Amino acid sequence: MKQDSAFSCHRDSAPRSGSCGGRRKRREKMLDASDIRLLMLHFLGQNAAHGYELIKSVEELSKGEYSPSPGIIYPNLTLLEEMDAIRVVDAQASRKAYALKAAGRVLLEENREHIASLIERLTSLAILVNNRSIPDVDQAIHQMKAALNSRLSQEDISEETLQSIISTLNEAAKKITTS
């Protein structure tokens, strides 16, 4: 995930005490509205569906780790309908089901690679969460966080100690990446 520069801080620019000058990092959205629209087109390209089914399809793809809200799904269904990319299957039904139109198929084809990367991102999220929930992995992550929090919560940490911590973390990251 990318980090909004307005919420990032660097050691050079932040005061030594406090967290980024008092700012907390903002958690970025998993997917933006255009990503959601492409996923909706992807699923509608397989079968006609209503909004709730589209939410469940995305949720299933990520094994429950991400679920778009109705507040993003339904306005985007309306937008796709206005773009002539989808149509209502039965306007008299209690729940509107949508199907892909020719313009929607064109959008799918034009964005095939991006859709594949979105699907990969959501499936890898499910794998990540599954692997992080392995008890030994979870315990090791917890111990690392606890050790860092304990050490970094001390006042007056020397520059030498900070550099040692940074070096150790970088070495661990390299070992994890190459193992």
C-alpha torsion angle, residues 111, 62, 126, 109 (rounded to 10): -10
Residues 49 and 9 in one domain: no
Domain count of the fold of the chain: 3
Per-residue pLDDT, 92: 80
State the CB neighbour count (10 A cutoff) for residue 126.
Answer: 16
Residues 179 and 145 in one domain: yes
DSSP, residue by residue, 101-166: -HHHHHHHHHTHHHHHHHHHHHHHHHHHHHHHTSHHHHHHHHHHHHHHHHHHTSSS--HHHHHHHH
Residue 85 near residue 107, CB atoms below 8 Å: yes
Per-residue pLDDT, 27: 40
Residues 20 and 108 in one domain: no
Residues 77 and 123 in one domain: yes
Residue type, 105: R
Residues 49 and 115 in one domain: yes
Q: Name the residue range of residue 13's domain.
A: 1-29
Residues 96 and 113 in one domain: yes
User: pLDDT tens-digit profile of 70-94?
Assistant: 999 999 999 999 999 999 998 788 8
pLDDT beneath 70, residues of the chain: 1-29
The pTM of the whole model exceeds 0.75 = no
Per-residue pLDDT, 121: 93
Return d(Cα 39, Cα 48) in angstroms, integer.
Answer: 13
125 is written with which tokens?
């999220």
Per-residue pLDDT, 82: 96
